Amino acid sequence: MAKVYFAFGIHNHQPIGNFNFVFEDAYQKSYLPFLEKLEAHPKIRIAQHYSGILFDWILANHPDYIQRLAQLTTSGQVEMMTGAHFEPILMTIPDRDKIGQILKLTQTVKKHTRYDAKGLWLAERVWEPHLPKVLREAHVEYTIVDDSHFKYAGLKEDQLAGYYVTEEQGATINVFPISEKLRYTIPFQNPEATLDYLREIAERGDDQVAIFADDGEKFGVWPGTYDHVFTNNWLEHFFSAVEQAGDWVEMIHFSEVLRRIAPKGRVYLPAASYREMMEWALPFRATRELEDFENKLKESDLFDRYGIYVRGGFWRNFLAKYPESNRMHKKMLYVSRKIEQNKEKLSRDLQIDALDHLWAGQCNCSYWHGVFGGLYLTHLRYAIYKNLIQAENILDKTVEKKNITTSVFDLTGNGKQDIIVESPILNLYIDPAIGGNIFELDYKPGAVNLIDTMTRREEAYHRKLLKEHQNNHADGVASIHDLIISKEENLQQYLKYDWYDRNALIDHFLAPNTSIRKFADSQYHEIGDFIHHPYEFDIKSDSVGANIILSRDGFIRMKQEQVPVRISKKLTIYQEKSLVQIEYRIRNISAEKLDLHFGVEWNTGLLAGHNGDRFYRSPDVEIEDNYLDSFGELPELYRLSLIDLWQNLKITFAYHQPTTIWRFPIETISLSEAGFERVYQNSVVLSHWKFALNDGEEKRISFSYEIEAAQ
């Protein structure tokens, strides 16, 4: 039998902000036992990639592991791969950060394993055609992507047992195609299934290279895999089977392939990722249509032949699909620009610290969502914002920022101007084009964005949850093909969808029959046209602080007529205080008397809704159920605080006139590899008032928002 070369790669990663116990669990269930099996089989030669986040954690918590890894690189059994240190999607960050992150991980790996890595693990295999040039500038010689990338370029299965050269502006890079077939046989099928496929490749002729590279977590961390891979000895059997086939299977490092085997040719790959990622990036209706079409192809026995020509979107679509992702991304780009503009003012140590925080804030996992991806996970978004604000804090201290600055530019990249207010204590990001709301409010001493919130949106997979409910309701039994795993029962009752983004300073005019339940479920009648429409603005600053005046002449719908109403809201941000004063003026500019129910919505994200160290408190009333995920009405209040003892924060709304407050949580239903789950995102405080206005009459409403230490 002809010989086949077998290049085998493992990618290990944990996101920034993940819990320490998750790191430890993955270490004990996957990283450590895999290394132990590798040490017991010296003929098995593989490439290993560890994101810098995970590498640093292992170095700090299990340094002996890194020493053992270094021994394997010295013996030639392991080839180390580099990557961007904090595992960003490369094309989403500036080139200077791409190169800086790659060099950082390359240097870290070389320092601790003595291996000069030349291959790069591309996060989520998200490829765009401009990458070869910047990868070469970071001293990378090869990378690995899915074979689907090559098939999208027109290549066929029998052309993919090797590597290709691609280029950008004459800068070349070698690209290996990962076999989808091997990704599904390893470790989920009997080892013989992999050997059968290797035999097929061997029969194609000389210099054929079978390529596998995938997540290390599928060896022990993914549900059910620890028992399969280690308790039931799948990995032992697999390594033994490959060793026994040594007369016709030669394990080879990717770097060795470059030295010993010629490339199969030149290729230009389109922008792509793995198939599922491209489906997830589509809007939910398009995802459903794509799934339906793929099912029709399968029913007609056409999918295997033509399925490769059926594609989803590409990664950047997440920034359009989720405003939360886009705002986080544009914040990151803004911080990156500020560091670049001020780097000469930073000492070398401070520059390294600022860049490390910025780069940590570029970790990809919080910027997207599918079965994987952590956009819906509050602790991962929290870590992104925390690092970005910490980078800003370093800049503030360096440039001795003592004054409030205001700037107006298109931060979010939607073609419209945003207002950015920055003091030594607070950052406020205001969108005049969409209701004049606040979409980011950073408390710099705590390095926290208090409006890190998530809007409830329909996801393509929600129909699976509804189908399960309908099937169970119909006959009490779901077929095995329709079986859906849920972490709690009756999750379908929480499928509520918002028609506006859950930010802060949102102006509502409510219909007379509006109840708290209807409002919380977004099933109420909004009679004003202020939420999605633009406000005019004016900015005034003095030695005390800055005033932002937002105003709009809009309409409310009464008795099938549009009646004109004017709103003016002034925000005062102080130079030396963690306090925002808000003053509303609501004027009837019609010729008739108006009975109004007006409310101001404020969303606050404090990570946990039902923890004893996070709760509501008011000196005006005893709140019996005071958890942040509680639901109810609080009448005639002058003060309401949200307390977070974990972060030592107290956020207080103080009203100049009594108000009725509705409070309730925003909870999303998302899907992960472990099943459907309900996730607390943030708490809503709606302060609202009922009043009448005669022709030309004006109502003034004033309150303040203050952040201070909880203890």
Catalytic site positions: 124, 215
Q: For the chain, how far is it from start to end, CA to CA, in angstroms?
A: 74
Query: Which residues have C-beta within 8 Å of that of residue 6, sequence separation ≥ 6?
Result: 198, 209, 210, 212, 242, 249, 250, 251, 252
Interatomic CA distance for residues 158 and 381, integer angstroms? 42
Q: Which residue in the block uniquely carries the two structure tokens 């060795």?
A: 256
Specify the amino acid at residue 299. Answer: E
Parallel, antiparallel, or unpaired: how do β-strands 504-509 and 594-604 relate?
A: antiparallel
Query: Which residues have C-beta within 8 Å of that of residue 624, sequence separation ≥ 6?
Result: none
Helix (H) or strand (E) holding 119: strand 119-121
Using alpha carbons only, give the angle 435, 440, 443 rounded to the nearest 5 degrees. Answer: 140
Interatomic CA distance for residues 394 and 387, integer angstroms? 11
Write 518-524 long-range contacts (CB < 8 A, 24+).
Answer: 519/662, 519/686, 520/496, 520/631, 520/662, 520/664, 520/684, 521/496, 522/456, 522/496, 522/497, 522/498, 523/496
Cβ(191)–Cβ(6) below 8 Å: no
Interatomic CA distance for residues 454 and 376, integer angstroms? 7
Query: Which residues have C-beta within 8 Å of that of residue 356, sequence separation ≥ 6?
Result: none
Tally Cβ neighbours within 10 Å of residue 133: 16
Percent helix / strand / coil, the chain, rounded to 5: 35, 30, 35
- From 375, 355, 354, select the one nearest 364 (Cα to Cα): 375
Question: How buried is residue 62: exposed, middle or buried, by Cβ count under 10 Å (0-12/13-18/19+)?
Answer: middle
Residues in the chain: 711
Using alpha carbons only, give the angle 585, 505, 92 rounded to the nearest 5 degrees. Answer: 145
